[in-house]
Amino acid sequence: MRRIRPLFAVSGRGTPRGRTRPVLTAVGLAAALALTATACDSGDGSRAAGGAGSSASAADGKNRIPDDIRRRLREHGIGVGKWQNGAWKKWTRADWLREADDFINPVIKGLWNPSRMRGANDPDKVVGAGDLAGDQGVTDPVPTPVTARAVAPAYHDHAPTAGKVFFDSPKGTMVCSATVVKDPAHPGKSNLVWTAGHCVHAGKDGGWYRNIVFVPAYNNSGLTTDRLKDAPRQEVAPYGVWWGDWAQTSPQWIAQGDETGGQGAPYDFAVIHVTPESGPGGKSLEETVGSALPVDFDAPAVPKAPRITASGYPAAAPFDGQKLYQCQDRPGRLSLLRTDPTMYRIGCTMTGGASGGGWVERDAHGVPSLVSNTSIGPVKAGWLAGPRLGKEAKGVYESVSGKFANR
């Protein structure tokens, strides 16, 4: 039987199976740690600057690990060098950082260089037409495929809030798409990014991914893959690399999210609070890119918008993940389970890597707002589906905003 999968979920092979206690959704205080990538060794952490159990500073003597961060890493048996390079083959079930206060995402300066970004993959995660046995009888007809169109560079001029999320998974370096959104606690100075839940957390059989960063306007000039090989980091990431220092997804995604089936897909959303790799004290993300989108949590169950624009960096064939694309279509409904909210669905040929990318609707006055994000799609690209953002999504959003309200 064909199964529905997240458009960009990560395979559970090599990761623990079975459910762990999916009660808490808030993630813990992220490590305020900055290291130089060159100060870390290739994996076992024994020679990493400031590895677990070490108080050594980085090679230049400037990046000493705070005692509380070193202690937390030690509690999880993690050396900084091992953390940097994943060491996924050695992971066991206990190694997944899953529950509240488990999220640790130390800033490793220079880790995400152009080569590492360019090589980030989308595992071949696709969805079939099956697994709709729980349909509420309200699923609309399959939409006609809409050919994704390349956004004209400079991307920042046409989609300033769009960008890419990079992270380390059990299968290596991976990529999603994301959107800069407004922060009610910091008007005009938001550091919030909206993406899919499966771009930060593996769901019921895993935990939080590592080395999560956001790169706004990735490859802003629309360079070809060949030209990107020689492009400096400043050209690949013209608005900087922003590390997630806090992330949160829905309890439903943590409890039900799966690489196969539509499990948790109606709740497949996440909010990341980011900080610049260069360190705090400068401009916010919103100030840096010059824009942020409001989020609409009152979108109707039956879509009324004449069209929605979905943006993303599709990475699975026939795309290569290096360029920004968009689809525009009138949304319909997709129902997976009777007990879950219906999702939005549009015709679109974007593939894996576009997951997490924002779905934008404009009101009668032309004002844009985020109404969903890409979550799942079919085996043969032709449509995309995303969660309808309601009270659960609003709770995640307000929780992350509130966490940093006085900072």
Which whole number is the average pLDDT over 105-129? 78
Residue 357 in domain = yes
Residue 64 in domain = no
Per-chain mean pLDDT for the chain? 79
Residue 17 in domain = no
pLDDT digits (tens, 9 = 90+) for 265-318: 999 999 999 999 988 888 999 999 999 999 999 988 888 888 999 999 999 889
Sequence-separated (6 or more) residues with CB below 8 Å from residue 391: 297
**What are 287's two structure tokens?**
């100030």
Task: Tell me the pairing of strands 210-216 and 162-169.
Answer: antiparallel
Higher pLDDT, 327 or 101: 327
pLDDT attached to residue 217: 98
- 243 has a pLDDT exceeding 80: yes
pLDDT digits (tens, 9 = 90+) for 44-100: 232 222 222 222 223 333 344 456 656 666 666 666 555 555 554 455 555 667 765
Residue 112 in domain = yes
- 19 has a pLDDT exceeding 70: no
pLDDT attached to residue 94: 57
Sign of CA dihedral 135, 141, 144, 149: negative
Q: Distance between CA atoms of 303 and 170, rounded to whole angstroms?
A: 37
Higher pLDDT, 133 or 75: 75
pTM of the model: 0.82
Q: Distance between CA atoms of 175 and 191, rounded to whole angstroms?
A: 20
Q: Distance between CA atoms of 306 and 43, rounded to whole angstroms?
A: 51
Other beta carbons within 10 angstroms of residue 367's beta carbon come to 10
Percentage of residues of the chain with pLDDT beyond 90:
54
pLDDT attached to residue 378: 82
pLDDT attached to residue 170: 77
**Do residues 244 and 237 touch, judged by C-beta distance below 8 A?**
no
- 404 has a pLDDT exceeding 90: yes
CA atoms within 13 A of residue 377's CA, in its CB half-sphere: 30
Going by pLDDT thresholds of 50, 70 and 90, the confidence category of residue 17 is very low
| 230, containing H or E segment | none
Q: Distance between CA atoms of 200 and 102, rounded to whole angstroms?
A: 13
pLDDT attached to residue 43: 29
pLDDT attached to residue 384: 94
Which whole number is the average pLDDT over 17-27? 33
Closest CA to 39 of 52, 48, 30, 27: 48
- 221 has a pLDDT exceeding 90: yes
Higher pLDDT, 163 or 105: 163
Q: Residue 318 is part of which domain span?
A: 103-403
**Do residues 326 and 307 touch, judged by C-beta distance below 8 A?**
no
Tokens 């995640």 correspond to what residue? 396
Sequence-separated (6 or more) residues with CB below 8 Å from residue 281: none
Q: Distance between CA atoms of 121 and 81, rounded to whole angstroms?
A: 22
Give per-residue burial for 104-141: e unless 16+ CB within 10 Å, then b: bbbbbbebbebeebbebbbbebbbeeebeeeeeeebee
Closest CA to 177 of 313, 361, 322: 313
Task: Tell me the pairing of strands 107-109 and 34-36.
Answer: parallel
Name the domain count of the chain: 1
- 188 has a pLDDT exceeding 70: yes
Residue 209 in domain = yes
Name residue 185's amino acid: A
pLDDT attached to residue 237: 97
Q: Distance between CA atoms of 247 and 30, rounded to whole angstroms?
A: 9
pLDDT attached to residue 26: 37
Higher pLDDT, 281 or 148: 148
Residue 25 in domain = no
Percentage of residues of the chain with pLDDT beyond 70:
71
**Do residues 312 and 196 touch, judged by C-beta distance below 8 A?**
no
Q: End-to-end distance of the chain based on CA atoms, in angstroms?
A: 50
Q: Map residue 405 onto helix, strand or coil.
A: coil
- 137 has a pLDDT exceeding 90: no
pLDDT attached to residue 39: 25
In this structure, the chain runs to a length of: 407
Which whole number is the average pLDDT over 106-130? 76
- 10 Å CB burial of residue 24 (0-12, 13-18, 19+) is middle
Higher pLDDT, 29 or 362: 362
Residue 94 in domain = no
pLDDT attached to residue 138: 81
Q: What CA–CA distances, in Å, run from 1 to 34, 127, 131, 329?
A: 47, 11, 8, 29
**Do residues 202 and 5 touch, judged by C-beta distance below 8 A?**
no
Other beta carbons within 10 angstroms of residue 176's beta carbon come to 33
Residue 10 in domain = no
pLDDT digits (tens, 9 = 90+) for 331-359: 999 998 888 899 999 999 999 899 999 99
State the CATH number of the domain containing residue 108.
Answer: 2.40.10.10
DSSP codes joined into one string, 41-70: -SSSSTTSTT-TT--PPPTTS--PPPHHHH
**Do residues 79 and 58 touch, judged by C-beta distance below 8 A?**
no
